[in-house]
Amino acid sequence: MKTAYNHGYTQSAGQHTTPLQRLAELVRGARSAVVLTGAGISVPSGIPDFRTPHSGLWERVDPMQVAHIDAFRSDPVRFWGFYGERFATLGDKQPNGAHEALVALERQGLLDGVITQNIDMLHRKAGTRELVEVHGSIASCSCPDCGGNISLAQTRERIAADDDGVPRCAACDGPIKPDVVLFGELLPAAALLRARAMCQRADLLLCVGSSLEVHPVAGLPLLTHEAGGAVAIVTQGPTPLDDIAEVRLDGDVVHELEALVDELAPSAQPGR
């Protein structure tokens, strides 16, 4: 275990420091700062999250019926009835100010990378360079039978061309599968290993828009905390890890992250 780090935070007696200022101090003082994002960072881009009452994606459908690996294998028509709609909507969404704020921090040398649970490609589109997509991405699909791989654009073309709306492999005609982690599947070992290593060496892990309830990703902040690093949380609604957070912000993610960039601008340290 590494020695606990001071994070570069000091406060004069009687001086009032806001949570945003505290977060900015943690970012400035961190030798390695990493961000973990969940569905909440993409909500301002028009993508619903999963569990919010009355609006979450799983309020409308049972994930075990439409987003489980067994559903893909047993009923690809029903599976792609759901995922075809997801592909049609997600592929056209654009990054919002929160994604762009993280890119700004990375370019200033204040952020080492982003770990995301999201499959929507928005961090890619925004320009994040060091990105770990632990749940995969809609950027491509693969054939489980012969290993053929096609792009998002090709997938959408094949959905439209098939009478049942099932994109099929050109080589073997079998249904192809999105390169995302479905319920019942393990996370890609390489991506999870990289994410764990980033969190273990981070002096600061900033969790943005995540409920921190989906494992094993929900355990990543504990790796940072147990190694002596700081955990900060920016999300609306409580999380199981609020008690270990050194900073907790619950405002709109775009507003909070853009304000963080503004707070750091006068003393940003490129090339850290």
Residues 136, 183: contact at Cβ < 8 Å? no
Q: Model pTM? A: 0.88
SS3 114: strand
Please tell me the distance from the alpha carbon of residue 211 to that of residue 268, in angstroms, as a whole number. Answer: 29
Encode burial over 207-242: b for 16+ CB neighbours within 10 A, e otherwise. bbbbbbebeebbebbebbbebebbbbbbbbeebebe
Q: Judge contact between 42 and 118, C-beta under 8 A.
A: yes
HEC assignment per residue over 77-96? HHHHHHHHHHHHHHCCCCCC
Q: Which two tokens stand for residue 108?
A: 């200033």
Inter-residue contact 183 to 67 (CB < 8 Å):
yes
For 116-156, how does the pLDDT look when each residue is reduced to its tens digit (9 = 90+)?
A: 999 999 999 999 999 999 999 999 999 999 988 999 999 99
For the four alpha carbons of 74, 77, 80 and 82, in that order, the dihedral sign comes to negative
Q: d(Cα 154, Cα 267) in Å, to the nearest integer?
A: 45
Residue of 7, 99, 123, 135 with catalytic role: 135
The 3-state DSSP class for residue 101 equals helix
As averages over each run of 10 residues, the pLDDT of the chain (272 residues) reads: 41 67 96 96 86 51 76 93 83 94 97 96 97 95 92 92 93 94 93 98 97 93 98 95 96 97 71 44
Q: Catalytic annotation on 225? A: no
Contact 195, 218 (CB under 8 A): no
Nearest to 72 by CA among 150, 191, 162, 179: 179
Q: Which domains does the chain have, with CATH numbers?
A: 1-47+95-134+187-272 (3.40.50.1220), 50-92+142-180 (3.30.1600.10)
